[in-house]
Each structure stands twice: as structure tokens, then as C-alpha cells.
Amino acid sequence: MATTIADDLRPLHHPKTWIGKYVWSQDHKVIAIQYGVTAIGIGLVALVLSALMRLQLGFPGMFPSIQPENYLQYVSMHGMIMVVYLLTALLLGGFGNYLIPLMVGARDMVFPFVNMLSYWVYLLSVLVLVASFFVPGGPTGAGWTLYPPQAITEGTPGQEWGILLMLASLAIFIIAFTMGGLNYVTTVLQARTKGMTLMRMPCSVWGIFVASIMGLLAFPALFVAAVMMMLDHVAGTSFFMPALLSMGQPLDHEGGSPILFQHLFWFFGHPEVYIVALPAFGIVSDLISVHARKNIFGYRMMVWAIVIIGALSFVVWAHHMYVSGMNPYFGFFFATSTLIIAIPTAIKVYNWLLTLWRGDIHLRVPMLFAIAFLFTFIHGGLTGLFLGNVSVDVPLSDTFFVVGHFHMVMGVSPILVIFGAIYHWYPKITGRMWNNVLAQAHFWITFLGVYAIYLPMHYLGVLGVPRRYYALGETAFIPQSAHVANEVITVAALIVFVAQGLFFYNMIWSLFRGPKAGPNPWGAASLEWQTPDTPPKHGNWGAKLPTVYRWAYDYSVPGHARDFIAQDEAPS
Amino acid sequence: MSLLSRLAEKSWLTPGAEGFDEPADYRPAAVAVGLYVYFAVMAIIFSLTVAAYLMRMGLHEALGHGAGDWRPMPEPALLWVNSFILLLSGIAWEVARRGVSRPDRIRIAVIAGGLLGIAFLLGQVMLWRHYDAAGYYLSANPANAFFYLLTAIHGLHLIGGLAAWLRVLARPRLSSIRLCALYWHSLLFIWVLLAGLLLST
């Protein structure tokens, strides 16, 4: 058993074998890397799917192996993998696991065994998901929202086996996440070291902490919905399935409510956006503060905004359902609550900008990614204001405007933060530094590339180009320029796709050949940079836990020799 | 310090660690904190399922949910018997929890609490078979489907509790017994709400 809060009460159990250290490991840092590598691995599958989709959209008819049903399957699997299996798993399972104990001064998570179990159950969910590519009929093509009745009705790709494996995989993922989430929340509440008050925690921990609470409260909705849809599909119940004719034959269902599924799905689905966004908000605050050598502007406001956004995100879900036939008064309520979220979000954006204001900005690669995030997030946030209004949303629903919006705000933005965070913490995780030239090239191609991809999509959306269509064909309202734009987007997407090779090459090469990094190459004040060893050893802190004397943002303090004061440095 | 005053701390103004106690001295055990957090998860699972139940039943007919196909299930005596067994189980855990003054009672009460939990689960299975035999099977009606779903989720939670019970039997500690008792009470509380829902609709 690992000791967590107190020093030296019980000895840490150090595994002796290679398997105990790296496979069945209970060390939060190893589990974090396992989570991260698995999430990025399955994320690469989703990336390949997106490249295939772009090939079809940019050059329809040139790839006979991409049939309409394949295209729908790519759309569905790309969306679900990116949102759940990559972003959620990487930000909470990966960064949450690595950063929480190090940043709050704990030796490990409070339940190391449950933490290990969480990873292996997550891996199982990924394997079940991957299996759906190999079953008869292939994976589900119901769209990532999996709306019934079409998800389990004949005519939708993968309606027999693919959808079942998808639902089973989600249920397994949620069990894994619940085990992990309980760990993250309990560790933050219970295992902070002496002196680490709640308001001395770095923003990263706050973002991950609130996102974990949200995940624990939001994922059960998806769990219940997945189980109910499985029963509808396998056992013939009618939770969601109304009476309907399929291929001229009446089905055995009656009276079910498809809208009930939509409510359950989006009760999970909207908080999910912030489950992904809040850790990114927290991490980017730390990146900006460290690399601008300035304390984060309005720290308390930043923390409160995270908490308020987390709470509000549970009462906005039906803004995804304006066109699904709800009572119009619902739309009024949900549009209002949606627009209210813009207030704490804008506070955060202003505070990031004000942190940069007159800072001693070092434009290192993590900082470049953080600033790029500000661009894409402001951009995606502003288009969100359009879509949050019912009357504007109705004509834009299911067009490429929506695709452009949500990719900017919850696809590209968190991914940019993830890249920035990997570059930022890589020296701590591996003890080595990456190659700057490759990293700069990776940044510029990715940042400019995503603009080339997603900016034209807004134009397509305003023209009325529908999303999820295999091919546009000859349609009067779609001008030639839309086809040209699609070709340009595809070329840009393929360039960005290939450029990710720079990142992977850099990470793997630097692991073995990179120059040795010091314990604190950025001069950061937060606790994870003050470990006695780099990379930190099992137990993190050597013989004695650190004592925390200050908040995490003492940068450029006047009259101090260095331009930062570490959190565990006693006041003189 | 209340939570609000802790969240209002201006941490940049007050460096230092004087006056801070060792966290181990005042914080509750990690397992206890974890269980409290899990209670929130449990509450949301059951309340969402119950919300779906009410929507599907047609309480929101005006909003376009549900239909007139909901046929309530009968209420056999076994439902009351099972509820009574779960109540007894909760009482046994309460005796164990308060057993500081009478240590000899604790072990018997813990064993009784767990065994009564198993008896409740067996009773639930009998209830399922009873309904099934009477033609109230899963796919026949949404009322039945929700009944099986809710009792299954509740039963799975109790099975999880029984796993904790086995651990307590292997390594009896008063702190673990208290948490088990708390968990059992919460399941009893949820069961009372669920049974009330099933009886009243």
C-alpha cells in the first residue's frame, strides 16, 4: 500500500519486476503514460478516418473503395473516438493522472489499485471499440450521437453488431472513467500536502478536478441511455423505439420516445464539451503564466469561472435539440442559459489576455500553442454565440457551420493545449528536451493548417452545405466555389495530417537522443517541477513530503533573486 | 473554515505555512471521501433513470413524450417481503455500526447484515421470476422494462456492497463497518423511493 497523506507511516510498495513496474503498475505516472499512449493510439485511428472523409469530400468519386456506408461509419467513429476515447481519456486519464499527485504534493493517487484497474478497463473498452471494425456489417454509421430509431434500424450501417459493440464499449469506458474520476476527485480533496489550500492549487488541477466531478455526474446519463438502447436492440423493449415500419414491415416496438434518448445523450453530451474544455482551460492558464513570467491575472476569478462554467453546463443541454421538435419554450430557456455561459468564459479569455499584457513573454513552443489556443477558442466561442440562439441555429443546423464551430471550440482548441502541454511537461516526464526546429515546424503547420481547414467550413455552412453527406452531387444552391473550397480544405487537411509525423518523430527521437533537460527548464513555480528526481521516482518526493508556503504563481516578484519563487520555498 | 471562505482565500497575499496542521490529523480517510463522492454518482444514476421512467410513462404527454401504452404492474406480496428483508438488513448494519459498547455483537450483526442482503437479492430474483411467469416479461410493456432495469441497477449496487462486506469479514475494522452501514442505508433509502414509485404508478 502506498502512503498518501502522511509521511513514513507505511512504506511504499516498490515493485521489483519489469512487469510490476511498467505493465501492472500502480504508479500514477506510469498509468498516466499508459492512458496517454493508448488514447493517442486510438486517436490516430480517428485521424486516419478524418483523412479518408476529407478525400471523399474533396474529390468525390475518385475513391471507389469509399462507399456511402463507409463514409457514415468514418463520421461516426471519428466523432466518438475523438471526443470520448482520445480527448476525455488523454486529458483526465493522462494529464489528470500525471499532474494531480505531483501538483498537490501527494505520493500517488489515493486508490492506486483502482487507478490501475481504471486503465485496464479503459483499454478493454478501446479493444471492444476496435473490434467493431471487424464484425460483419462493420462499425456503426449512426453518427456519433447514435440517435434512435435509426441507429438500430435496418438501413443504417452496422445496425446489427457495430452499434452493439459501440454501446458496450461506451458502458465499459464509463465504468473505467468512474473508477478514475473517483480517484482524481478524492485525491484532490484528501491528499493535498501540508499548506496546499484549495486556492493554492494551480489552475490545471482546478480544471481537471471540476471536469472529473462533471464526468462523474454526466457519464451516468450516457450509461443509462446505452443500456436502454441495448435492451431495445437485443431484448425488444421500447424505451426509445416508437412504432414504425421498416422495409414495409411493422417492427415489434411501440410508444418509445426517441427524444428521451436525445435528452439523456445531451445531458451527458453537453457537459462532455466542458469535461474536455475545463482541463484545457486550466492547463493553458499555467502555460501562459509560466512562459509570460507573470502571475495568472485574476486567479480567484479563474477558479470561480471554472466552477461556474462546470455548474452551468448541466442546464444547457437542449441547445443541441432546437430542431428536434421540443416545446419552443424550452428553446427560450436553453438559449438563455447557453448565452449566460459566455460570461464566465469571457472572463477567462480576458484574464488570459491580461496575463500576457506586459508580460516577459518567451515564445517557446508550449507558449506558441497556448497563444494559438486563444485564437481558435475565441473563434469557436464566437460562432457558438450564433448557434446558441434558436432563430440563428435553425437555418444553420446540420450544416458545415456547425462542423466548423465545434471543431474550432472543442476539437482544435483542446488539441492545441494538449500539444502545448506535452511539449511543456515532456522534460519532466522523460528528463530530456525535444528538438526545437521540429517543434516549431510542427506548430506553424498545425496552427495555420487548422485555420485553412475550418475557416472555409463556416462559409460552406452559410451556403447551406449539409454535414454528414457522402457527396453533394448536382444541387442548385451549392455553387462551384463550394466544391473548390472542399478541395482546398482536403489539401490543407492532408498537409496537417502528414505534419503530425514531425511531432511523433520528435517525441520518439528525443526520448533517446534529446539533450538532458534540467529539473526545471522553464523556471516554473508549481510543485511538480520541484521533485527531487527528474523524472520523478515512484513515491515522487523522496523521504519527506514537501510543505507548501505559497500559491503557484509567484513570478517576477520584485526584490527576489530569481524571477520565480517555488511553492515549497519557505518565506525568508 | 467554510467552503465559501476557503474559496475566497486571497492566496497570493498570505505566504507561509504557520498554523497549518498535518493533513493526516484532521482529514477523513480516503475511502470515506471516495464513498461520499460515489453517493453523488449513485444519486445521479437513479434520478436520471427515474426521470426517464416518468417521461416515458407519459407525465409529459403535452411535450410529446411517451404514449398511452403504459400498463402498471401488479404488486405481489413478495415486494413487501423483500422490502422488509432489506429493512432488517439495514437494522443489522446499524446495530454493527453502534456496536462500540458491545463488541461481541458487532461480528454477529455484520454477518447478519450481509446474509440478509443476499436474502434480499434472492427475493428480488424470485420477484423477477414471479413477474416473468405471470407474463410481465421485459419486452411486454415499458412499465415492466423500467421495473427490471431499476431493480437490476439497484441489485448490482447491492452486489458491490456484498464485495465490500466480504472484505470487512476478512479484515474487520470499525471504520469500514461504518462505511458499509452507510452504504447499506443509502441503498435502503433508494429502494424505499423506488418501491414507492413502483407502487404509486
Indicate yes or no: CB of B142 within 8 angstroms of CB of A6: no
Domains of chain B: 27-62+77-200 (1.20.120.80)
Q: What is the mean pLDDT of residues B125-153?
A: 92
What is the number of alpha carbons within 13 Å of residue A514 lying toward its C-beta? 25
Count of domains for chain A: 1
Q: Which residues pair with A399 in a beta bridge?
A: A466
Across the range A449-461, mean pLDDT stands at 96
Establish if A217 belongs to a structural domain: yes
Q: Of all residues in chain B, what percent carry a pLDDT higher than 90? A: 64
Residues 6+ apart with CB under 8 A from A496: A445, A446, A449, A450, A453
Those residues whose C-beta lies under 8 Å from the C-beta of residue A479, and which sit 6 or more positions away, are A463
Average pLDDT, chain B: 90
- Over 80: is that where the pLDDT of A1 sits? no
A373 assigned to some structural domain = yes
CA distance A82 to A47: 8
| Mutate which: B18, B56, B146, B173, vs A, most A CBs within 10 A | B56
Please identify among residues 329-388 of chain A the ones whose CB lies closer than 8 Å to any CB of chain B. Answer: none
> Which residues of chain B have a CB within 8 Å of the CB of A197?
6, 9, 11
Which uninterrupted H or E stretch holds A522?
none
- Whether A7 shows a pLDDT value over 70: the answer reads no
In a domain, A362, yes or no: yes
Owning domain of residue A276: 102-107+185-241+255-530
Please judge whether A254 and B69 are an interchain contact, meaning their C-beta atoms are less than 8 angstroms apart.
Answer: yes
Render pLDDT for B77-124 as a digit per residue (tens, 0 to 9): 999 999 999 999 999 999 998 876 677 788 899 999 999 999 999 999
What ipTM was estimated for this complex? 0.94
Which chain A residue has its CA at the smallest distance from B14's CA? Answer: A550
Cβ of A300 within 8 Å of Cβ of B8? The answer is yes
**Are A236 and B30 within 8 A, CB to CB?**
no
Mean pLDDT of A477-501: 95
Q: What is the CA radius of gyration of chain B?
A: 22
Task: Identify the three-state secondary structure at position A230.
Answer: helix
For A150, which DSSP code?
Answer: G
Among residues 311-330 of chain A, which lie with CB inside 8 Å of chain B?
Answer: 325-327
Looking at residue B62, what is its pLDDT?
53
Question: Does any domain span residue A281?
Answer: yes
Nearest to B64 among A186, A223, A325 (CB): A325
Question: Which of A195, A231, A257 is the closest to B55 by Cβ?
Answer: A257
Which chain A residues are closer than 8 Å to B15 by Cβ?
549-550, 554, 571
- Cα–Cα distance, B70 to B141 (Å, whole number): 7
Confidence of residue B72 (pLDDT cuts 50, 70, 90): confident
- All residues at 6 or more sequence positions from A2 whose CB lies less than 8 Å from its CB, including other chains: A12, A13, A26, A107, A108, A112, A539
In DSSP terms, A432 is beta-bridged to A516
Q: Is A220 on the interface with B (CB under 8 A)?
A: yes
| Inter-chain CB proximity B6 and A550 less than 8 Å | no
Instruction: Determine, yes or no, domain membership for A331.
Output: yes
Nearest Cβ partner of A221 from B8, B48, B149?
B48
Q: Which residue of B has its CA nearest to A238?
A: B142
Is residue A447 domain-resident? yes
Beta bridge partners of B179: none
Give Cβ neighbours of residue A324 (< 8 Å, ≥ 6 apart): A259, A262
CA atoms within 13 A of residue A171's CA, in its CB half-sphere: 14
For residues A266 and A320, the answer to whether their CB atoms sit within 8 Å is: yes
Q: Is residue A91 part of a domain?
A: no
With contact defined as beta carbons under 8 Å apart, do B105 and B99 qualify? yes
| Residue A263 domain-assigned (yes or no) | yes
Strand blocks (E) in B62-145:
none
Domain CATH number, residue A287: 1.20.210.10
A554–chain B Cβ distance below 8 A for any pair? yes
B135: region left, alpha or beta (phi > 0 left; psi from -120 to 50 alpha): left
